[in-house]
Copies of this chain bind each other. A is one copy, B any other.
Amino acid sequence: MIERILTTELADHQGEEIHLAGWVHRIRELGAVSFVLLRDRSGIAQLVYDGAVDFGNETVVRVTGTVEANEKAPGGFELRVTATDVLAAAASDLPIAVNQESEVGIDALLDNPIVSLRIPRVRSIFALQATIAQAFANHLRSQEFTEIKSSKLIGSGTEGGTGLFTVDYFGERVYLAQSPQFYKQAMVASGMERVFEIGAAYRAEKHDTPRHLNEYVSLDVEMGFIAGHEDLMDLEVGLLGAIFEEVQERHADTLERFGASVPSAEQMQKTPRIDHEEAKGIIADRTGKKAFEINPEGERELCSWALDEHGVEAVFVTAYPRKKRPFYTYPDGIKTKSFDLLFRGLEITTGGQRIHEYDMLLETLPKFGLTEEGLGDYCTIFKYGCPPHGGFAIGLERLTQQILGLSNVKEASLFPRDRKRVRP
């Protein structure tokens, strides 16, 4: 039986009769001969036909032929075709071209997601993104973390009611979870100690910026028996280093295509940790303007400073004032044991130690205008003994965006949800 091989495997089959299968990417008819580029999940190969062909771009075909060397063909080999089965026809009115070297504008991409994912450049973003998620999980499993799957339908908002999408649940008004915060803390306290989750998170915010999505994938981590938030930053630089190494090893071609690179694991270990006040001082020094907040411009400035001073485009900003962090953040005087990680000018993580003592939690709630009853079962987690713990969350799309240097985070979401888009 003749075997189907992938377009990238031609070199191993010189002189053999094989099948290729895929999509017709481009056709060049030269009268006596036609060159057809065939696209499959692995890449693109050249097919050679005698005379003209009777199919158009995007037709799905299964072809039979003999592999021949040709230094002018992509990869140095081509298939001289003897038989073609058309598996599915394709209409000729593609709304955007999928076989051009020039980039398609972002609005055209986002308005035609079903077709734009056929563009090899676009699809490669999501192959790389799958590796990020896999490396995240594998590194944490190597540290004895257990993966959890928590509910995304919640009866009340742990972090307050604003920014929540409402769901009609058999006549009851419930919400889509903004984060699995409650659940990952519950699982640490249950005795699982170290947990992670890869799941959807929802923000009903009316932002329409290149860095916001209304539905995104949150890479969530929570760890018990920590000595402080420093342990979490240690964990995160090791984790990101492992992710970057895996991306470098498996997606060097995609990085090259985007003119991108990733920091090494060694570079990540050098990520500086500066407190919030110090950060504002650095911004002021570098811009000549007093910084009242760390705004997007300030975030870019801090990463630029980290690159200059520490050789890595990442920086932890720690010790945020208590009023700027959620109620459950562990206090440290008027500040908190919390951090953000900025990477290449964008916040990709928020994290910190959490309050684990029931008494401290009950004292804290009124300061944030909250009550034990209003938080549903949240306080039960701490009532019956919970170890010191903390965690962080990384936005998968933002991390993808920052690795590849994408101008808009929506390019890093397969089917992005924003104010205007809830289809397809």
By a beta-carbon cutoff of 8 Å, the part of chain A in contact with chain B is 4, 21-24, 39-41, 58-60, 62, 87-91, 94, 113-115, 117-118, 120, 123, 126-127, 129-130, 133-134, 137, 141, 144, 146-156, 165-170, 172, 174, 176, 182-183, 186-187, 189-194, 198-200, 204, 206, 215, 217, 225, 356-359, 376-378, 380-388, 396, 414-417, 419, 422-424
Residues of B within 8 A of A59 (CB): 385
Give the secondary structure class of A's interface: mixed
Looking at the complex, which one of B91, B167, B170, B414 makes contact with A151 (CB distance below 8 Å)?
A: B414
Smallest CB–CB gap between A22 and chain B, Å? 7
Question: Is the pair B385, A90 in contact by a Cβ cutoff of 8 Å?
Answer: yes
List, in ascending order, chain B residues with CB within 8 A of A118's CB.
189-191, 384
A114 contacts B385, C-beta separation under 8 Å? no
Q: Is the CB of A147 within 8 A of B134?
A: yes
Cβ contact within 8 Å between B90 and A384: yes
**Cα–Cα distance between A10 and B416 once the two chains are bound (Å):** 50
In contact, B146 and A130 (Cβ under 8 angstroms): yes
Contacts of A146 in B (CB 8 A): 126-127, 130
Residue from A4, A166, A383 having most chain B Cβ neighbours under 10 A: A383
In the complex, what distance in Å separates the CA atom of A356 from the CA atom of B388?
54
Most chain B C-beta atoms within 10 Å of own C-beta, residue among A23, A155, A198, A356: A23
Residues of B close to A204: CB separation below 8 A: 170
With the chains together, A154 CA to B423 CA distance in Å? 6
